[in-house]
Each structure stands twice: as structure tokens, then as C-alpha cells.
Amino acid sequence: MGLLDDLRRQANTINEQLQDEEAIRAERIRRVDSCMAQIYNYLVDLGKNLDVIKPTSAQRLEFAPSVVFADMKVSDFFVDSRKTRHLERDVFNDIVFAFNYRGTQQFMVKKELPLEIDRLSDQLKQLGIRFERDDIKNERRLLSHSNFKLHADIRAGAKILADYEHGEVLFKVKNLERLGVVDLLFKTETINDSKLEDFAHLILGQPNAFRQQTAPMRLNLPKG
């Protein structure tokens, strides 16, 4: 075998490997996009029905030991998605799913130090809790303290991001089971009708296994 034959054989081997890798990547992209489409269609249908029924969730969200939001109805559902390009076709990039927990409770919180006042304002805004702030000044027209009225009106939901490199989907869940954002990573093969039903039960504060079968977390999660 001459040098040219040897080079030709090496080139053919590399080309076959590249073709195999491209086929695997294409299949991974197809599976992630199909998974995202399943999630999107389910959430659209779920939001439409819950917006009509407006059921009361069993969810209890604790902001502080003396501030626990409960007996809230779910309403004002919103679902949207963005696309990106992979292998010269449009595929899902992310899905936004949002709604309101809304009840009749009101809580009063008093803060005196300027740093505490600003910190509480920022925290409530980040969490999506509706509030009113009344700044009280003393006789010298200086800030004495601030009274916060917290309403049982909380924006909640999830942002779902596609990870085409790893064949996974990331749920950035907000104000479900607890206040704040929690990242939950899933392999596409674990997303099925049962898993999505568990997500609906999670919204309604009912027993669920949504957090089960999560993938190991890593540093390079999808951004969004």
C-alpha cells in the first residue's frame, strides 16, 4: 500500500466519523425540539383551561414566619416561545410560562433603616410580589420608617430553555412550592405526559413527583 492509499484510508475514516457525529447531533437536536414542542403545547392547553376555571391552589408560599401566602387562585396565564436556528431550521430556544397566584390576604411589614427598606423593596420586586410602600417622615422631613403592604398577588411560573448540546431541558421554576427561582435540569427522555401532569399538580399545590429524575447540575447551564 502506497502513501496515497494510506492517506485516502485515513481521510475516509475521518469522514465516516464526522458523518456519524453529525447524524448523532441531528438526532439530538430533533429530540430536544420535539420535547420543547410537547412542553409548549401542554402549557398552552393547561393555561387556557386554568384561566377559565381559576381554581384555588393548595400552595403555601412563606415570605417570613409571619407572612405566609395561602388560599390563592391561579389566573392570568401567559405562554410564549422564542426560536433559534440549528442545522438550517427553526427550533425552540425557550418557553416562558407565567401566571398569578391571587388571594385576599394582606400583610404589613415595617422597616426603619434605609438599607433594610431598599433591600425589602428590591426583594419584593424580584420575587414578583405586589406591594405598596408608604414612606413616613418625621417633623424634620427626614425618613422615619417605611410601611410595606404586601398583597397576595404573586407572579409565578417557569422559563424552559433548550440545551441542544447536551440533549436536556432546563426549567427555571419561580415561586412554585417556595418563593424564589429554582433550576431543574431534565434529560429529554424523562419529559412525558406524566411529568407534565406533575408540573400542573405543582402549580396547584398538590402532591407530585415533578422534582424526581432530574439530571445532575453543571456549571455551563443554558442562559436565559
Instruction: Compute the distance between CA of residue 87 and CA of residue 77 in angstroms, rounded to an integer.
Output: 33
**Residue 32 and residue 188 in contact, taking contact as beta carbons nearer than 8 Å:** yes
Residue 168's CB: how many other CB atoms inside 10 A?
24
* Residue 21, SS3 per DSSP: helix
Per-residue pLDDT of the chain (224 residues; tens, 9 = 90+): 576 667 677 666 666 665 657 777 888 999 999 999 999 999 999 999 999 999 999 999 999 999 999 999 999 999 999 999 988 889 999 999 999 999 999 999 999 999 999 999 999 999 999 999 999 998 888 889 999 999 999 999 999 999 999 999 999 999 999 999 999 999 999 999 999 999 999 999 999 999 998 988 877 778 76
**Residue 169 and residue 191 in contact, taking contact as beta carbons nearer than 8 Å:** yes
pLDDT value, residue 71? 97
CA neighbours within 13 Å on the CB side: how many for 199?
26
Q: Which three cell numbers stand for residue 9?
A: 484510508
pLDDT value, residue 87? 81
Beta strands per DSSP E along 37-193: 56-57, 61-64, 67-69, 72-86, 89-111, 129-137, 143-163, 168-176, 178-187
> Domain coordinates of the chain in residue numbers?
3-203
Q: Which three cell numbers stand for residue 43?
A: 402549557
Which residues are paired to 178 by β-bridges? 176
Residues 6+ apart with CB under 8 A from 27: none
Instruction: Compute the distance between CA of residue 46 and CA of residue 3 in angstroms, rounded to an integer.
Output: 64
50 class by beta-carbon count within 10 Å (0-12 exposed, 13-18 middle, 19+ buried): buried
